[in-house]
Amino acid sequence: MLDRTLLTLGAFRLDTVVLGPGESSVEVLEHRAIAVVLVSGRARCNGVDLTPWRSMTVRASCCLEAVGPCIVARVAVDGPDAVHLGERA
């Protein structure tokens, strides 16, 4: 597994996770939400198959499982005053 931050702009953070076949990654999110996007390959997030280039909002925890080699992007909004992804004001 390779985890790399690509972009940080204010409260927004974009990073990628590169997984080999059969690898997994677990992240505890607590009260925040992130969006995950399958860039290439095949993967599941919390047991749901990801569709390439379609975002999926995840809360509480994010368990990524690689079906084959894959790259998954994670978009997060951080900071105490940030409105998190998937939440309505």
Instruction: Determine the structural domain holding residue 24 and report its residue range.
Output: 2-77
Mean pLDDT value of segment 4-28 = 85
Considering its fold, how many domains does the chain have in total? Answer: 1
pLDDT at 4 over 90: no
For residue 3, what is the enclosing H or E element? strand 2-9
pLDDT band at 10 (very low <50, low <70, confident <90, very high): confident
CATH of the domain at 43: 2.60.120.10
**Higher pLDDT, residue 11 or 39:** 39
Answer whether residue 62 is part of any domain. yes
pLDDT at 78: 73
- Of the chain, the percentage scoring pLDDT greater than 90 comes to 52
CA distance 81 to 72: 27
Answer whether residue 83 is part of any domain. no
